[in-house]
Structure 1
Amino acid sequence: MENALDVLRAELEVGRSKTSELTTRAAWLAFTRFARQRFATAPPPDSDGLLFQYGTYAFTGRPMFTVDLTRQFEVNDAEGVHEHYVQVHCELRYACGPALDALGSYDSWFFHDADADAEEWFAAVERRLEPLLDRRPSEIDVYEELV
């Protein structure tokens, strides 16, 4: 998982055209490719999770409609005790407007190895993303953090 951020960035570059900016659809497809790749993680069940969330937030100082595509890895110490999480984020930000404001806020988790179907989760998330798929985000931020 040490190179997870680089893997996500590489997938995003695959979706970027040489002549245009990344669309929401291209970012989502890049994230799903990234999400399908498995990494060496702590023992299951909650060691490798996917989070999809959106809403209007002012994280950058001004209100923006933000879609956050996140992968979370649990990190344990040498004895196997939880130490912290590493989250790899792809945040897509859009100028606010009535159509996006009407979406409100939403979040959904998926955990690999938890007897759930990833493809069903991806399909449900994509239905939520439908109003944004052909839009180009105003800003994209790809980063990693410890939580």
Structure 2
Amino acid sequence: MSRRPPIEQAQERLRHELSPGQQPLAELDLDEVWLRFVRFGSQRFDTANAPDADGLLCQYGTHTFEGPPAFTLDFARQFEVNDASGEHDHYIQLHCELRYEPAPQLRALGHFESWFFHDTDDELDRWVDGLGLHEFWTIVRNFHPTEIRVYQEQV
């Protein structure tokens, strides 16, 4: 039996990591949200024994999912969920989404995504350090999010 917490506790743990009685979520800046998300991403959960069962995603782009266009920077964690026979059933994605007014500088960034998976040959620190070299951080830091949302979905 695994000593890791079940994935059903992941959303509560992310919310706790993002707002552990210190600053309200809406007052956090990009660097603080990223630091706390990476700390959450380093915590392991009881997942399937597969190389893509526990992944982290950093993605951005300008979208019109709900209402007017918004530049969205999304930090997500994806867990594979298997059925009773051990076969893939679905994924659970837990998002920490920062939304911004779609300023021309943000729109000009286009779209981007980068994945990291636990239980592969990659290392979390190397992925985080590699992402830190991307130009988008410098640009996005000049803006304050209009909204920070944490939500979970099944895909």
Give the structure 1 partner of residue 144 of structure 2.
136
- Give the Cα–Cα distance (whole angstroms) in 1 for the partners of residues 22 and 132 of structure 2: 19
Give the structure 1 partner of residue 4 of structure 2.
none
Give the structure 2 partner of residue 100 of structure 1.
106
Give the structure 1 partner of residue 3 of structure 2.
none
- Give the Cα–Cα distance (whole angstroms) in 1 for the partners of residues 57 and 148 of structure 2: 17
- Describe the SS at the equivalent of 1:119: helix
Instruction: Say if 1:90 and 1:140, in contact at 8 Å, map to a contact too.
Output: yes
Same amino acid, percent of matched pairs: 51
- Give the Cα–Cα distance (whole angstroms) in 2 for the partners of residues 14 and 124 of structure 1: 28
Of residues 110, 113, 130, the one that matches 2:119 is 113
- Give the Cα–Cα distance (whole angstroms) in 2 for the partners of residues 36 and 79 of structure 1: 28
Q: How far apart are 1:35 and its partner, in Å?
A: 0.3
Unaligned runs of 5+ in 2: 1-6
- Give the Cα–Cα distance (whole angstroms) in 2 for the partners of residues 135 and 117 of structure 1: 30
Deviation per residue, 1:4-23 (Å, 9 max, x gap): 001111111149536x7111
- Describe the SS at the equivalent of 1:45: coil
Instruction: Say if 1:47 and 1:73, in contact at 8 Å, map to a contact too.
Output: yes
Q: How far apart are 1:113 and its partner, in Å?
A: 0.6
Unaligned runs of 5+ in 1: none
The one-letter amino acid of 1:76's match is: N
Matched, 1:27 2:33: yes
- Give the Cα–Cα distance (whole angstroms) in 2 for the partners of residues 137 and 114 of structure 1: 33
**Pair 124,109 (structure 1): closer, same or farther in 2 beyond 3 Å:** same
Q: How far apart are 1:131 and its partner, in Å?
A: 2.3
- Give the Cα–Cα distance (whole angstroms) in 2 for the partners of residues 41 and 130 of structure 1: 35
Give the structure 1 partner of residue 73 of structure 2.
67
Matched, 1:81 2:100: no
Give the structure 2 partner of residue 56 of structure 1.
62
Q: How far apart are 1:122 and its partner, in Å?
A: 0.8
